[in-house]
Amino acid sequence: MCGIAGFIDQQYSQDHAEQLIDAMCKVIRHRGPDDQGTWVDNGVALGMRRLSIIDVAGGQQPIYNEDHSVLVVFNGEIYNYQELKKSLQELGHSFSTNSDTEVIVHAYEEYGDDCPRYLRGMFVFALWDKKRQRLLAARDRFGKKPFNYYWDGERFIFGSEIKSILEANIPRQINHIALDEYLVYSYVPAPHTLFKDVMKLPPAHILIYEKGKITTRRYWDLTFDPTCYDDEATAIERTYELLRDAVQVRLMSEVPLGAFLSGGVDSSIVVGLMSQMISQPVKTFSIGFEEDDFSELPHARRVADYFGTDHHEFFVKPDLISVLPQLAWAYDEPFGDSSMLPTYYVSKLAREHVTVVLTGDGGDEIFGGYDHYEREYKISRIPPAIRQMLAYASLLIPNGMRGKKRFGSMNLDLATRCTRILSRFPENTRPAMYTADHFAYVAKHEPFDQHIKLFREVPHLDILSQMQYVDVHSYLCDDILVKVDKATMLNSLEARSPLLDHRLAEYVASLQPSLRIHDGSLKYLLKRVAKGLLPNDILTRPKQGFGVPIKHWFRNQLTDYAREMLDNPRAHQRGIFNPDFIRGLLAEHANTKLVNHSSAIWSLLCLELWLQVYMDEPPLSKEIYSPVQITSSH
């Protein structure tokens, strides 16, 4: 059940309101091709597009309580809906469907604004209380499902995707502060979007519209405070139990399901557990590249053979970048994580066979799997004097060369060091990158503050726990989960993340940090849990990550494409970037092998395409949104 939209605007006539909510739903048809449902009354409208997975026959939305005084539209899955339904029935509530959606209206009647705390799963919902003339919206704990809204003091408009909100003809203006942050992170951090006055509801938050006012508040957090002192053996046993349960409940479906498989520990352990729980071979889907140093297909095949899965794979080649305009439309905002490309193609591949996939998302953040965790572990053991010397030595390294930012940040505090390494652009280039007119918008803005602020919230934690906390509250929700939601939903595919089950995450985050990373060994606990389930070579191989060979592509097949897109009159007329800076960046990457500006070029390319799709007049032709055909190997 995969897309919602709605608004509160008393100026609309009934006919106009019905037309608008219909248009807002139809523009996100890809999120739910099976059904559409709307409700309109006195300038209030709720709508949804449905991908039918649970209670296929009877789960049409909106869904009401017994006297139709409360109604809800919902996107996601509630995995504990059956036990929650039973407890609500025991309290006197009557149900008319077997849909997980219906538990929300009755949970609201029983628990009020605290009802999201009782839901286990991924969700966004908007609930209208007719008697109180009040809207309650909520987003799941990790932000697996999106909620965007526009509020100008009079009109409140919301949707799973911003393109629904744009159907209401809101002003299309660039949020310059958000653009400045995008060029650091390659995504736009919540609560901002790149559209002025359009906001994201952060994960684990509720939003209330009442009496012409909007309020938001957090209802849950994952703090990584070490409050549990279970020993290693107990932690392994308990984690295994919680992980098995997290996979088991996510097999709930009335339609075919499978799994993404990279060959890493996270997705492999999910596939391994699925293989124990499903009588038929698990359908698995993998993506690779012709460049061997970026392709994980051999490892994915190893896992697929080990568990006897029904395996499918696809190679991504440089010419397939032609899908980027379609992705620019699908993502609503510029999105500079190049792994969105293989994520789109593996989603498209999977949708040819199944409607639901399980993924390994969240394993790095929850169990401690990122390389920068190991790097900071090592840096913390370097004497300050040596760190100072390395920082001075970095001045001799050219911009863009490997190690420049890493060594240059050695003498900074943890928060500043971790944040500045994120930037896709050479250090201290913002004044040269922007035109003078555009730099005036952001001269007093510090784009790194968004990230540093998160570190400042948990100064009492150890280094590992601080980094995990920050990644969960930034990179996971604003990059990883956005990427997966947009890519899967564009293909009408639902993705479920067992490693982000909140019960499992709460337990692992409460353990002593040495169980997550032990003597510098990443994902120590998860690998101990997986021992005996996965082949040893999968458990011990170095982490590879979901990288894309864009550094090769922008030096070879895509050199001319990048130049044509970024160094042309239309791009220069926007008045955002200094043309000489762009030309220098492109030339340096193409001609200097020791310099790698590929991430910066990709971010600029995605931004330019977004501007063409959403800000230019006229925008790119809607022909770009047609599906791309692919052929897989089996």
Active-site annotation, residues:
2
What lies within 8 Å, CB to CB, of 536 at 6+ separation is none
Phi-psi region of 55 (alpha: psi -120 to 50; beta: other; left: phi over 0): left
Euclidean distance between CA atoms 524 and 516, whole angstroms? 5
Q: In what order do the strands lie in the sheet with 121-129?
A: 63-64, 70-78, 121-129, 134-139, 205-210, 213-218
Bridge partners (DSSP) of residue 629 are none
Packing angle between helix 481-490 and helix 340-351, nearest 10 degrees?
40
Euclidean distance between CA atoms 43 and 155, whole angstroms? 10
Euclidean distance between CA atoms 410 and 403, whole angstroms? 11
What lies within 8 Å, CB to CB, of 354 at 6+ separation is 255, 256, 257, 258, 283, 493
How is residue 486 written in tokens?
């947009």
Contact criterion met (CB below 8 Å) for 552 and 293: no
Of 283, 286, 124, the closest CA to residue 205 belongs to: 124
Euclidean distance between CA atoms 16 and 20, whole angstroms? 6
Q: Which DSSP letter does residue 629 get?
A: P
Contact criterion met (CB below 8 Å) for 284 and 258: yes
Of 112, 129, 120, 146, the closest CA to residue 5 belongs to: 146
Peptide bond connecting 426 to the previous residue in cis, omega within 30 degrees of 0 = no
In whole angstroms, how far apart are CA 169 and each of 136, 155, 173?
A: 24, 11, 12
How is residue 82 written in tokens?
């059956």
Within 541-597, residue ranges assigned H as helices are 550-553, 559-566, 569-573, 579-591
Euclidean distance between CA atoms 557 and 562, whole angstroms? 10
Contact criterion met (CB below 8 Å) for 158 and 165: yes
